[in-house]
Amino acid sequence: MTTDFIQSSFAERIGGKKFGQDTTLYKFEKIKRAKAAAKKENPNTELIDMGVGEPDWMAEKEIVDTLYQEAKKPENRFYADNGIQEFNNAAANYMAEVFGVTDLDPQTEVNHSIGSKPALAMLPSAFINPGDITIMTVPGYPVMGTHTEWLGGETVNLPLLKENNFLPDLSSLTEEQKEKAKLLYLNYPNNPTGATAGREFFEQVIEFAKENNIIVVHDAAYAGLVFDEQEPLSFLSLPGAKEVGIEIQSLSKSFNMTGWRLAFVVGNDRLVNAFATVKDNNDSGQFRAIQKAGIYALEHPEITEKTAEKYSRRHEMLVDALQDIGFKAKKPKGSFYLYVEIPSATADGDEFNTAEDFSQFLIKEKLISTVPWDDAGNFVRFSVTFEADDKEEERKIIQTIKNRLAETDFIF
């Protein structure tokens, strides 16, 4: 039987006739292969993985117990469709308690989602016609841009530059781009830069959105994970935000629940309704028992605070270690990402023209895995989500990183 008809059936959006035959290695595959090779060559040295974008802790025992209890109840077995009202109520209370957003109607302004990734994937279907623009930021989480393009829309990528504190420069958009733009995607605390946005920035965003009739989608996946002088900040806590936008809150990182798949879209009622309509045509909702475990989580924001304390402590240790070696590392105010500018070379003659070069060097020569970003400057991202049972172990791991790096003379 010939399979040619299969090869010629793939849609252009996934590569058309060439789907599956592309031999280009993408970033994460390159990292994976380099890690496997380094481990094989150095079987007695532990590879320290600072590249993982997921919490090292599992969900609290009480959350797991709630799932266990609720999973046994026959009334939880049905399709959940657009979600259970109790979850929306808990989400609205959480927004009030953690972010001071007190004016939410849990009937019309909240809708659960099976994680924020599918919400980002579905939102363009509610707004993007061919030729419409979604404004994205780079480096960043690309899902909304990908789906915009799959629908025949276009993306405009605004660079997140160090000199602008990793905030996009909205004034760099042309009149035509602003005219065609329907959606503006923002994410603070930001993956991968770790940058946080302040109230002034969100105020500018709201003014920009009103002036240009652009809908704001704020991806708040790390919103609860802040430290030092940074208070948890929701886009929706700003006056006027609900007139122009929505926020996506996720339980993945805040409650160590990545695999559970639970998030919610919150904000402007008509935007939430548009999302719910698209969602209803994509999935049948998250398992009610998981939503109920999610309610327990949302009622216990101290879990997020405890998690944030751990990341804050690890960031401090890592920043100190990297600074001692000569890196210009600066502790972020949120997220578990430390985004560090690469050195240009080593005194031994290794040159790093890209972050990818440097990240490969770190894996091969130092058995330290990071994620490189070359979209706007050359940076590597360390995640402080490495596996360590206690502070002592954390200290040991950071000390090992420091010792390994200190053996080389880096040129910055």
Ligand X SMILES: Cc1ncc(COP(=O)(O)O)c(C=O)c1O
From candidates 93, 258, 323, 400, binder to ligand X by CB under 6 A: 258
**Does residue 334 touch ligand X according to CB under 6 A?**
no
Pairing of strands 181-187, 215-219: parallel
Q: Which stretch binds ligand X (CB under 6 A): 89-97, 111-119, 272-280, 301-309?
A: 111-119
Q: Is 116 in the site for ligand X (CB under 6 A)?
A: yes
- The residue with tokens 């030729």 is 131
* Shortest distance (Å) from residue 217 CB to ligand X: 11
Q: Residue 403 CB, nearest distance to ligand X (Å)?
A: 30
Q: Which of 262, 199, 250, 246 is nearest to 223 (CA)?
A: 250
At closest approach, how far in Å is the CB of 220 from ligand X?
9
Centre a 10 Å sphere on the Cβ of residue 184 and count the other Cβ atoms it contains.
Answer: 27
Applying CB under 6 A, among 76, 111, 187, 254 the residue interacting with ligand X is 187
Q: Which of 90, 263, 338, 405 binds ligand X (CB under 6 A)?
A: 263
Sign of CA dihedral 291, 295, 301, 307: negative
Q: Does 121 contact ligand X by CB under 6 A?
A: no
- Considering only residues 155, 196, 234, 250, which one is a binding residue for ligand X as defined by CB under 6 A? 250
**219 contributes a contact to ligand X by CB under 6 A:** yes
Residue 195 or 405 with smaller CB distance to ligand X: 195
Which residues pair with residue 48 across a beta bridge? 368
Query: Which range binds ligand X by CB under 6 A, 24-32, 112-120, 151-159, 234-242?
Result: 112-120
Is the alpha carbon torsion for 406, 408, 411, 412 positive or negative? negative
Helix (H) or strand (E) holding 121: helix 116-127
Q: In the set 167, 195, 216, 221, which binds ligand X (CB under 6 A)?
A: 221
Q: Which is nearer to ligand X, 193 or 410 (CB)?
A: 193
Would you count residue 204 as binding ligand X (CB under 6 A)? Answer: no
Q: Is-contact 235 209, C-beta < 8 A?
A: no
Instruction: For residue 307, state whether it binds ligand X (rule: CB under 6 A).
Output: no
| Cis, peptide link before residue 372, omega less than 30° from 0 | no
191 binds ligand X (CB under 6 A): yes
Alpha carbon distance 213, 266 (integer Å)? 19
In angstroms, rounded to a whole number, what is the distance separating the alpha carbons of residues 223 and 36?
34
Q: Report the interhelical angle of 116-127 vs 269-280 (nearest 10°).
A: 100
Question: Dihedrals φ, ψ of 380, to 5°?
Answer: -115, 150
From residue 122 to residue 151, what is the string marking binding to ligand X with x (rule CB under 6 A)? -------------------x----------
CB of 193 or CB of 366, closer to ligand X: 193
Contact between 254 and ligand X by CB under 6 A: the answer reads no
Selected binder of ligand X within 51, 55, 115, 232 (CB under 6 A): 115
DSSP codes joined into one string, 69-120? HHHT-GGG-S--TT--HHHHHHHHHHHHHHH------TTTSEEEESSHHHHH
**With binding defined as CB under 6 A, does residue 304 bind ligand X?**
no
252 binds ligand X (CB under 6 A): yes
Give me the helix-helix angle, 116-127 and 143-150, nearest 10°.
30
Q: How far is the CB of 355 from ligand X (least distance, A)?
A: 18
**51 lines the binding site for ligand X (CB under 6 A):** no
Does 56 bind ligand X (CB under 6 A)? Our answer is no
How many whole angstroms separate alpha carbon 242 and alpha carbon 251? 21
Residue ranges binding ligand X (CB under 6 A):
53, 115-117, 141, 187, 191, 219, 221, 250, 252, 258, 263
